[in-house]
Amino acid sequence: MNTLTDRITEDMSAPLDERQAAVAPNFDDPVLNPDFKTFGNVHVDDPAMTSRNVNVSYGDKQAIFNVSLDVGKNEVIAMIGPSGCGKSTFLRCLNRMNDTIDVCRVSGSIKLYGEDIYGKDMDVVLLRARVGIVFQKPNPFPKSLYENVAYGVKLHGLASSKSELDDIVESSLRKADLWKEVSDRLDKPGTGLSGGQQQRLCIARAIAISPEIILMDEPCSALDPIATAAIEELIDELRKQYSICIVTHSMQQAARVSQRTAYFHLGRLVEVGATDTVFTNPRHRLTEGYITGRFG
């Protein structure tokens, strides 16, 4: 991390004004202010997931600093911020996807309905069933459409009979608004669908194992506007049953789909608030600068 001391000992051959600018502590920069507290209320009345003082490091590089944030039941919370701000890292902490990275260290507390997800007794496979994830690039299994959706259900033993499995596959595809388009070709490979359909298939796959929370990491960035609209409409529909955390680079998308928006900057949660407020009258100037396109 480029600390204040590092900056002071930096290249002394640079012109004086540049050096002064480099060492001047800018306390608007949250990373430089150890007392920085997130603007807005990180708590919700009815949380599905609570994170407190979460710190994440990759080796000796700290990526997330002291982030506390609740995810409410039946809400869509959007996480926005410039590249490298830690929003995806934080998202991946919520179902322990970071466990797959050797050098990654997570501290603090993350609870799913009061249960510590980093606790000794937590079954990570089960956790990832309860907290599903949809990635940026649609990644259907190289199997049939039916098998794509049924795979997780069978893995977790959630269906006791073939007909029950059929029902789960159908209802998941219906919830993902894909049933009408694929019902007559369930035996065809999932990879044969269009990008938007593949992403909805991945959502159906996540829904099939009855998660409590769905994490979405830039789910529409590889899709055209029509497919994006279909996914966004789906997100709004899914909210009735699930909590959804979505990381997105599209501010318009965050504004359209979420009820709360969290703005991350250099690993800090700078501001969180009702989406309406964040996009009309943000409280922190970094949030304002980012959403209005005043960053350089």
Q: Footprint of other proteins on this chain (CB under 8 A)?
A: 26, 28-29, 82, 251-252, 255, 266, 279-282, 285-289, 291-296
Q: What is the DSSP letter of 39?
A: B
> Is 156 or 249 the residue whose CB approaches other proteins more closely?
249
CB of residue 111 to other proteins, shortest distance in Å: 32
Residues 6+ apart with CB under 8 A from 2: none
> Is 68 or 277 the residue whose CB approaches other proteins more closely?
277
> Is 61 or 294 the residue whose CB approaches other proteins more closely?
294
CB of residue 289 to other proteins, shortest distance in Å: 4
CB of residue 292 to other proteins, shortest distance in Å: 5
> Is 148 or 248 the residue whose CB approaches other proteins more closely?
248
- Helix (H) / strand (E) element for 52: namely strand 47-58
Q: What CA–CA distances, in Å, run from 16 to 2, 11, 19, 32?
A: 19, 11, 5, 22
Residue 85 exposure: Cα atoms within 13 Å on the Cβ side: 23
Residues 6+ apart with CB under 8 A from 267: 31, 62, 63, 64, 65, 67, 85, 86
> Is 100 or 281 the residue whose CB approaches other proteins more closely?
281
CB of residue 224 to other proteins, shortest distance in Å: 18
Integer Cα distance of 276 and 88 in angstroms: 23
Q: Hey, what are 197's tokens?
A: 């359909």
CB of residue 294 to other proteins, shortest distance in Å: 5
CB of residue 22 to other proteins, shortest distance in Å: 12
Question: Can you tell me which residue has the tokens 């608030």?
Answer: 273
CB 261 within 8 A of CB 275: yes
For 166, other C-beta atoms within 10 Å of its C-beta total 14
> Is 100 or 280 the residue whose CB approaches other proteins more closely?
280
